[in-house]
Amino acid sequence: MINFKNASHIKLKPITSEQIHEFLPKMLLEDETVLASFQTVRDQLIFTTKRVVSINVQGLTGKKVDFTSIPYNRIQTFSVETVGLIDTDSELQICVATMGCIKFYFESGFDIISFNKTLSGLILNSSQ
């Protein structure tokens, strides 16, 4: 489950914008766009131009959904870990003062280096 209160999250696989939860587009600001989106079994993690959004689908039917946002200006530190020879998952860790550190694991094939550049710009520019 993707829940920012957990310390880490299982493998995230990239999804298309058409696969993003139907409520999210209605929640975005006019000047906010989706940069990258990922999914576990039911839950999703979305990176927009303004924030990181966790979409936590709850219950047996999945009708109840929790949306939690972390604005980029609240992220104090972050790190990425590239894939290795045996460990083929890349990792992203973000640390937020009020929540601690959260680690995300991405399935092999995700370009964490290019994403790090995008994320760096968003986090560093939002803290000014």
What are the structural domains, with CATH classification, of the chain?
A: 8-126 (2.30.29.50)
Q: What's the predicted TM-score (pTM) here?
A: 0.87
Phi/psi of residue 13, nearest 5 degrees: -110, 140
What is the chain's pLDDT, residue by residue, as a tens digit (128 residues)?
A: 455 555 455 689 999 989 998 889 999 999 999 999 999 888 899 999 999 999 988 877 778 888 999 999 999 999 999 987 777 789 999 999 888 888 899 988 889 999 999 999 999 998 66
Predicted local distance difference test score (pLDDT) of residue 22: 87
Q: Which two tokens stand for residue 2?
A: 């993707």
Predicted local distance difference test score (pLDDT) of residue 9: 58
Do 93 and 106 form a contact (C-beta atoms < 8 A)?
no
